[in-house]
Amino acid sequence: MSSTFDQVATIIAETCDIPRDTITPESHAIDDLGIDSLDFLDIAFAIDKAFGIKLPLEKWTQEVNDGKATTEQYFVLKNLCERIDELVAAKNA
């Protein structure tokens, strides 16, 4: 996860011009880092390319809107990285 976090944090820092040292595993991409939905598309694009996956943003958004999940489950970075690791593992299975 730490390697995944380092890559994701670097992507966020470079994509959104956020100081790298302010990005932690506990950071909430929206609430703490102030990343809006359009910027998150750029981040998703970069993550998809870097990890060879397709972040299921629509599914996650729907789950949050339906009250079946919280934004923390997907947008706190340590949780996002866990989801990424799961997607990578599923791809390689």
Partner 1 sequence: MRLEYFQMVDRIVSLDRDERSIIVSSQVPEQSTIFEGHFPGYPLMPGVLLTETMAQTSGWLLIALLKFERMPFLASVKEAKMRDFVKPGELLTVEAKVVHDGSGFAVTDAKISVCDKLKCNAMLTFRHTPFPNPELRGHMEAVAKRIGFPEQLVS
Contact set with partner 1 (CB under 8 A) = 38, 41-42, 44-45, 48-49, 54-59, 61
Alpha helix segments (H runs only) across the chain: 2-16, 37-51, 57-65, 71-75, 77-92
Strand, helix or coil for residue 76: strand
Task: Give least dist CB 24 to partner 1, A.
Answer: 26
Question: In terms of CB distance, is 25 or 56 closer to partner 1?
Answer: 56
Q: Residue 24 or residue 62: which is nearer to partner 1 going by CB?
A: 62
What residues have CB less than 8 Å from 92, skipping those under 6 apart? none
Residue 33 CB, shortest distance to partner 1, in Å, is 19
For residues 19 and 11, give the distance between their C-alpha atoms in angstroms, rounded to a whole number. Answer: 11
State which residue, 22 or 62, has the beta carbon closest to partner 1.
62
